[in-house]
Structure 1
Amino acid sequence: MATASSPHSVSHEVDTPEAGRIALKFFFNLMEKWGCTAEQQRVLLGSVSNTTLYKYKNLPRVRLPHDTLERISYLMGTHKALSIIFSNSPERAYEWVSKPNSAAPFNGQSALQYMLAGRVVDLADVRRYLDGVRG
């Protein structure tokens, strides 16, 4: 009989240098697909310094700060939701984030512009919006 992992053991699984490397690899692959600049990447990671961004680009085995992991997690959820919504057109899934959107909370901005306000809640809002769209 399988037992649920305790929250403590789950945090250890994502708080490893290898998990950090995998999260960064996902992040930079997604940033390439979205066409994000280095400055946009810095903001999405939590306004990290240029030095930190370029260190991360080397995909080190590093324990990422909780805030950075949380941000990447929201971006993963956004990517997953878009992949489901646009399952017949992967290109549209990657383009969607840059297109103006009249729906709340975007009010004419693109989802990327909205997320570039820099707060974790902005990333969470986009993911929540897409989860609602896909049902």
Structure 2
Amino acid sequence: MPRAQANPPTRAQPDLKAMSAAGLRAFFNIARDWALSTEQQIVLLGSPGRSTFFKWRAAPDKAQLGHDTLERLSYLLGIYKALQILLPDPAAADAWLKKANSAPLFGGGSALDRMLCGNVGDLFVVRQYLDAARGGWA
């Protein structure tokens, strides 16, 4: 009969600090491309305290983000990438986010309006919409 291992193998845990730093650096570059205000950036990141936000912006390498913020960053990076694929002209891709959209998901508002509702689910549905538009999994 096989014996239970004293030290079962463990899966490598991702380096949370490295993921946080990379995600924040990418986010702040995207925020620049999208011309987001500080307030908009804060909402998209899940409304951390202002002092926390400014610490993250000044020193992303020192941040250790929680699951919710990392999930938000994942959706935002996916939205950015999907737009770059769908609209290869960077200016058009960046502008799409702020344009009124007649799709039922947006109700005549822009994708950014939907994303700024503050819920992680709003980021998810925008990401899903774009993935479906480019023929990916929805």
Considering the TM-score relative to the shorter chain, is it more than 0.5? yes
CA deviation vs aligned residue, 1:70-112 (integer Å, no higher than 9, x gap): 000000110111011012x111111111111111200111100
Aligned equivalent of 1:116: 116
Aligned partners of 2:129 and 2:112: how far apart in 1?
Answer: 13
Q: Which runs of 4+ in 1 moved over 4 A?
A: none
Amino acid at match of 2:78: G
Q: How does 1:1-135 map to 2 (within 5 A)?
A: 8-9=11-12, 12-13=13-14, 15-58=15-58, 59-87=60-88, 89-135=89-135
The two structures have a TM-score, normalised by structure 2, of 0.86
How far apart, CA to CA, are the structure 2 residues paired with 1:40 and 1:75? 13
Do the aligned residues in 1 keep the contact of 2:56 with 2:62 (CA within 8 Å)?
no
**Could you list the per-position Cα deviations for residues 13-56 of structure 1 after superposition, in whole angstroms to 9, with x for gaps in the alignment?**
2x421221111000010011111111111100001111011001
User: Would you say the 8 A contact 1:43–1:118 is kept in 2?
Assistant: yes
TM-score for the superposition, normalised by structure 1: 0.88
Q: What displacement does 1:62 show?
A: 2.3
1:8 Cα deviation (Å)?
4.6
Instruction: State percent identity of aligned pairs.
Output: 44
Task: Report the Cα distance in structure 2 between the residues aligned to 1:115 and 1:124, rounded to whole angstroms.
Answer: 9
Name structure 2 gaps, 5 residues minimum. Answer: 1-8
Question: CA 1:95–1:8 in structure 2 vs 1: closer, same or farther (change >3 Å)?
Answer: farther
| Larger relative helix fraction | 1
Q: Distance in 2 between matches of 1:37 and 1:67?
A: 21
Root-mean-square deviation over aligned CA pairs:
1.6
- 1:98 is paired with a residue whose SS is coil
The runs of 5 or more residues in structure 1 that have no matched partner are 1-5
1:63 CA drift (Å): 1.8
